[in-house]
Amino acid sequence: MTTKQPETPYQHLEMRFKRLSALAEAEAVLHWDMSAIMPLGGAEARAEQLAELKAVQHGLMTGPEMPDLIAAATADEDSLAGWQPANFREMKRRWIKATALSEDLVVALSKACSACETKWRTARPEGDFKAVLPLLEEVLNLTRQAGEAKAEKQGLSLYDALLDDYEPDGRAADIDPVFAALEDFLPDFLWEVLDAQDARPAPVMPEGPFPEATQKALGIQLMEALGFDFDHGRLDISLHPFCGGTPDDVRITTRYDETDFTSSLMGVLHETGHALYERGLPKPWRGQPVGEALGMSMHESQSLLVEMQVCRSQNFLNYAAPLMKAAFGGDSPAWEVDNLHRLYTRVEPGFIRVDADEVTYPAHVILRYRLEKALLEGDMTLADLPIAWNEGMQKMLGLTPASDREGCLQDLHWYDGAWGYFPTYTLGAMTAAQLFDAAKKAKPEIEPGIAKGDFQPLFRWLKANVHGKGSLLTAKELLIEATGKPLDPEVFKSHLKTRYLG
């Protein structure tokens, strides 16, 4: 990537996108602050700050000189080399999306999301969906307006236009059959797993309490073992765990329960997977679209690869169990590796998505996917969401939430404007299984390394095949290059069968 003064239209675009990246990174840190440490009284001012940043970015992206710059760079596209063609491809993708929206709509949507998210932070603990409903209706209305504008500009359906923001080139027509096949497979498989599980000794939860400070120290110890660099990141607390910040300043959060350390720890490890992906993105292309992560399915694959594929494995617990036992001063059989492995691979339908096991997790995602499609397309109203949610949970997992806190209020995503995001979780789980399978075959030293606390063989492979690629390739191209084939749900199913029935 050139660093000299711009001479060509493409170089002018590089400079502009570098400025846009700096503004987006500032916005990301403000979002982290709002979620982790901002006092509630700062919400109104923060909403104005975020909206202003959105407006400035939109103005830079849609300035009157941009069409001429894009046209001139397109005419000179044959002169681009290396990663430049892919970078220009991503520039054009973002520009087309931005030109579909007015600045007024961008600002209104930003403010609505900030207000709704702030209200959600008090409504969720109280299970009070009605308190946040009017603000969520405004978010949905403005999201639909933005989605329709993008859909018209890109020649897509409303849902596909929103999905494309999180999963470039993702389409509902491709997701529907995959999810339908999973929905056919999982109910019978779940019963098989539960029967097999009942035939084995039930896991015993180690006795608490588990002090928050000790949980945090253990989480930090395992984060560092995985390769998290605390000179370029930090761990904090929020109502909903997430990874934010920037590639050089990664902010992750979790939440603690002093009666159960397992949920927090796996949340930390999940978000560490996201963080390591961000840290591994190609440094020479920092500040350019091609240097950013390749959509949210790939991002979720990296968090789920760490949490589900690696950190719930027998190999990982051979390494981590003694650390857990030492951290909490455990001296009972509950701290033995086999018991902790049964505990961490326990399959049990539950209400909360982020705590769900691998077998039931797709049901949580499929439910949300179908509900958000129905809401966006006007087939149901937000006032009907709590009942529809509870009915869906009963149908899919045989559970009815006692309150909206365990139901439609549990996830942050819709309340902060992330509509079209949910499918990426299960697509990410399938991608994680396929990537980890390929990595183990390519590097037999990966699994023995995990058992000893040496994660470098795995992350060297991921750096070479995923992290360091940024957005150079499409998701399909990257998966074919890394694993030899496009996304294959059978790999995920095989993983589940081996782990839970093997």
Tens digit of each residue's pLDDT (9 = 90 or more) over 348-396: 999 999 889 999 999 999 999 999 999 999 999 999 999 999 999 999 9
- 182 and 162 within one domain: no
Considering just the CA atoms, what is the radius of gyration of the chain in Å? 23
Amino acid 224 reads E
What is the per-residue pLDDT for 3? 54
Residue among 271, 278, 358, 372 flagged as catalytic = 271
Last residue of a domain, one of 129, 148, 168: 168
Q: What's the CA gap between 159 and 272, in Å, rounded?
A: 30
Does residue 78 sit in the same domain as residue 159?
Answer: yes
Look at the alpha carbons of 132, 162, 433, 286 in this order and tell me if their dihedral is positive or negative.
negative
pLDDT at position 5 over 90: no
3-class secondary structure, 235: strand
Distance between CA atoms of 443 and 466, rounded to whole angstroms? 15
Going by the DSSP 8-state scheme, the letter that residue 285 receives in this structure is G
Inside any domain, residue 1: no
Q: Is residue 299 a contact partner of residue 427, using CB atoms and an 8 Å limit?
A: no
122 φψ region: left (φ > 0), alpha (ψ -120 to 50), beta (else):
alpha
Examine residue 463 and state whether it is found in any structural domain, yes or no.
Answer: yes
Same domain (yes/no): 321, 379? yes
**Residue 2 predicted with pLDDT over 60:** no
Query: Can you tell me the mean pLDDT for 320-340?
Result: 95
User: Is residue 191 located within the same domain as residue 159?
Assistant: no
Burial (Cβ within 10 Å: 0-12, 13-18, ≥19) of residue 331: exposed
Beta bridge partners of 237: 254
Q: Evaluate whether residue 4 is within a structural domain.
A: no
Question: Last residue of a domain, which of 150, 168, 186?
Answer: 168
> Looking at residue 242, what DSSP letter applies?
-
Of residues 131, 135, 15, the one with CA closest to residue 63: 15
Q: Are residues 98 and 184 in the same domain?
A: no
Q: Which of 340, 356, 474 is nearest to 411 (CA)?
A: 356
Tell me the C-alpha distance between 256 and 239, whole Å: 10
Both tokens assigned to 18? 């570098």
pLDDT over 90 percentage in the chain: 96
What is the chain's mean pLDDT, rounded?
Answer: 96
pLDDT digits (tens, 9 = 90+) for 242-290: 999 999 999 999 999 999 999 899 999 999 999 999 999 999 999 999 9
Residue 4: per-residue pLDDT? 62
State whether residue 361 is helix, strand or coil. Answer: helix
Is residue 379, in this structure, part of any structural domain at all? Answer: yes
Place of tokens 């509509």: 419
What is the number of structural domains in the chain?
Answer: 2
DSSP H/E element including 181 = helix 172-198
Dihedral over alpha carbons 171, 177, 179, 181 (to 10 degrees): -160
Q: How far, in Å, CA of 430 to CA of 489, rounded? A: 6
For this structure, is 271 an active site residue?
yes
Residue 196 within any structural domain of the chain: yes
Look at residue 340 and tell me whether its pLDDT is greater than 70.
Answer: yes
How far apart (Å, rounded) are the C-alpha atoms in residues 65 and 12? 11
Q: Is the pLDDT of residue 51 over 80?
A: yes
Co-location of 218 and 238 in the same domain = yes
CB 251 within 8 A of CB 244: yes
Task: Return the pLDDT at 252.
Answer: 95
Q: Kindly report the CATH number assigned to the domain that includes residue 448.
A: 1.10.1370.30
pLDDT of residue 169: 94
% of residues, the chain, pLDDT over 70: 99
Phi, psi of 244 (to 5 degrees): -140, -155
Q: State the average pLDDT over residues 155-174.
A: 96
Confidence of residue 478 (pLDDT cuts 50, 70, 90): very high
Q: Find the domain containing 396 and state its range.
A: 174-501
Q: What is the pLDDT of residues 434-470, one digit of tens each?
A: 999 999 999 999 999 999 999 999 999 999 999 999 9
Residue 2 domain flag? no
Integer Cα distance of 28 and 140 in angstroms: 22
Last residue of a domain, one of 113, 143, 168: 168
* Residue 240, pLDDT score: 83
Question: Are 468 and 493 in the same domain?
Answer: yes
